[in-house]
Structure 1
Amino acid sequence: MATDQQHPTGQYPTALGTSTAEEIHLLGHDLAGELMGEVSFGELAFWLVAMRRPSPGELRVFEAALVALADHGFTPTAIAARLTYLSAPESLQGAIAAGLLGGGSRFLGVTEDTGRFLADALAAHSGDLPTDDAGWDELALAAIRDRRADGRLVPGLGHPVHKSGDPRTPRLIAIAEESGARGAHLRLFEAVGRMSETALGKPLPLNGAGVCGAAFADLGLPVDLLRGFALLARTAGLLGQLAEERRTPIANDVYMHVDRHAVYHADDGAPD
């Protein structure tokens, strides 16, 4: 958050990275001598945002969530990246950026939306947090109904492919439990799943993007930055998609199939 704090003229304070002609320091440590070969990329990513090193249990949950978000097949983000690479093979960064720009309310952005929804519901709750499933269910039901009363969808519920259950969800919850990191956000998220039929008239599965948001929030990561972690994970997936596109191209087939099946239809300008 921006502040009005004043700094001496010509100085730009940072707790992240600095360098001289001889050394590079990151987070107060010598990059080459203390971090390289000693700290995993996942631990560093957590540390850079939280400004603290995660515990072994927290790191396990964090990296499991990153793995869960890395790739999910031919999603719109992957297709966008492949088609952009087809159009501009000289611009790998453009293809990756095209895929990342598709991270919104339907894909990837659900991670942040869910974390924020759960955090807001917990912040609005007065009194002690529930100690049993019945109490969490009551809190979840109220949160769902408040959300729907505002005309908004409940993030983290439903999936276009995994209609009967997203396999990532129970696995990440189990990892969090084993790691001592299953906190209030995950418990409320689980209750949202249990109460979806009561509140919405039909059972909806808890999706993987949503459970990652709940897990990230339980790790104490800022909810307004959670989409960044989803994009971090998906960057690895998109790089894999582009590597495969180079080995086994499909983008031109996708383009030609759509182009050859385009049918003219007069548009009267009226909304659907």
Structure 2
Amino acid sequence: MTTFPTSLGTSDADSISLLGQDLAHDLMGRVSFGELAFWLLTQRQPTPGETRVFEAVLIGLADHGFTPTAIAARLTYLSAPDAVQGAVAAGLLGGGSRFLGVTEDTGRFLGDVLADAADTPDGLPAIEDEAAWDALALRAVTDCGAAGRFVPGLGHPVHKVGDPRTPRLIGIAHEAGTYGTHLALFEAIGRVHEQVLGKRLPLNGAGVSGAALADLGLPPELLRATVLLARCAGLIGHIAEEMRRPVANSIYLTVDRNARYVAPGEPG
């Protein structure tokens, strides 16, 4: 018979297996959800330090207020309260280049810079060589500006001076022993970008999360998936709050009752 190989979950009449472990006896009550999520993504059990950083990222990205993704989830729940999965899905579908996707964009950007540097005769600097990281970061930011591209992970619409998640996550990575080349380069970008851009921007929480996850060995293709895992919890929280203290109808009415017709081509 045809078989379908998997390294994830299987079951029979008497047991459930997940990741090669007995789900009921080896995993339930023994590992945290964050540890299990990392294990599922990477196919390896994380160290305690890796679990700490991974779960810190999940907490930092779970919710950030009335963002477009949260509003989308609440409005969808208003329209279809019988299908909570649709409300969660509506919020997750908004995870793109402006919201949630920055984590992936930053991880990819840092990874590309590091890969190019590793191919040079000098290779990558030692982690503690701050001056060498600054030089590498300065070249990367300069090249980005010359190409007319934004440096991902810089700037935040609310935290104009500093994102409180960034130094905390960097500190946790140091404490957990997971601080690596992606975070070293990201911090260097924070130190030198003003020389190129002419203004100082904060390193945002989404960007530092991408750097921290990349240092844990997660591939770029899974960075946004990790953000969506975190934001799923936040969206469920918004829906639960919408049930208790609804605001979606007020949002809808505010827009609908203030809609004003303008002829095509006329300024709004």
TM range (shorter): over 0.9
**Equivalent position of 1:83 in the other structure:** 75
**Equivalent position of 1:258 in the other structure:** 255
- Count of equivalent residues: 263
For residues 15-44 of structure 1, the C-alpha deviation after alignment (integer angstroms, 9 at most, x for no partner) is 111111111111111111111111111001
Matched, 1:59 2:51: yes
| Percent of matched pairs sharing the same residue | 68
| Amino acid in structure 2 at the alignment position of 1:219 | L
Query: 2:149 aligned to 149, 152, 158, which one?
Result: 152
Query: 2:90 aligned to 91, 94, 98, which one?
Result: 98
TM-score between the two structures when normalised by the length of structure 2 = 0.95
Tell me the distance in 1 between the aligned counterparts of 2:259 and 2:177: 53
**Equivalent position of 1:114 in the other structure:** 106
**Equivalent position of 1:73 in the other structure:** 65
**Equivalent position of 1:268 in the other structure:** 265
Tell me the distance in 2 between the aligned counterparts of 1:190 and 1:43: 26
Query: 2:15 aligned to 3, 8, 23, which one?
Result: 23
TM-score between the two structures when normalised by the length of structure 1 = 0.94
Q: SS of the counterpart of 1:165?
A: coil
For residues 197-251 of structure 1, the C-alpha deviation after alignment (integer angstroms, 9 at most, x for no partner) is 1111111100000000000000001111100000000000000000000000000
**Equivalent position of 1:241 in the other structure:** 238
Query: 1:190 aligned to 163, 182, 187, which one?
Result: 187
Post-superposition shift, 1:269?
A: 8.4
Q: SS of the counterpart of 2:200?
A: coil
Structure 1 pair 20/269, CA: closer, same or farther in 2 (3 Å)? Answer: farther
**RMSD of the alignment, in Å?**
1.4
Query: 1:14 aligned to 6, 31, 43, which one?
Result: 6
Tell me the distance in 2 between the aligned counterparts of 1:20 and 1:56: 31
Q: SS of the counterpart of 1:164?
A: coil
Superposed, 1:24-43 pairs within 5 Å as: 24-43=16-35
Query: Mind listing any 5+ residue stretches in structure 1 that lack a counterpart?
Result: 1-8
| Amino acid in structure 1 at the alignment position of 2:233 | A
**Equivalent position of 2:39 in the other structure:** 47
